[in-house]
Amino acid sequence: MYPFLILDDGTEIVHSELLENDEVKVYIEKPDEKDCFHHMTCYLPSYRLDDVFGFEQGEVNHYLDIVRSTAHLIIEFSKGGGFENAANF
- What does the pLDDT average to over 1-12? 94
Determine the Cα–Cα distance for residues 81 and 66; give it in Å rounded to an integer.
21
pLDDT at 87: 46
pLDDT given for residue 8 in this prediction: 94
86 neighbors 6 (Cβ within 8 angstroms): no
Q: Contact, 49 vs 42, CB < 8 A?
A: yes
Model pLDDT for residues 10-66, shown as the tens digit of each residue: 999 999 999 999 999 999 999 999 989 999 999 999 999 999 999 999 999 999 999
8 A C-beta contact, residue 24 and residue 15? yes
How do the domains of the chain map onto residue ranges? 2-85
Q: Is the peptide bond before 31 cis (omega within 30 degrees of 0)?
A: no
In which band, very low, low, confident or very high, does the pLDDT at 84 lie, cut at 50, 70 and 90? low
Pairwise CA distance, residues 15 & 77, whole Å: 9
Q: Give yes or no for a contact between 34 and 43, defined as CB atoms under 8 angstroms apart.
A: no
Which pLDDT belongs to residue 82?
59
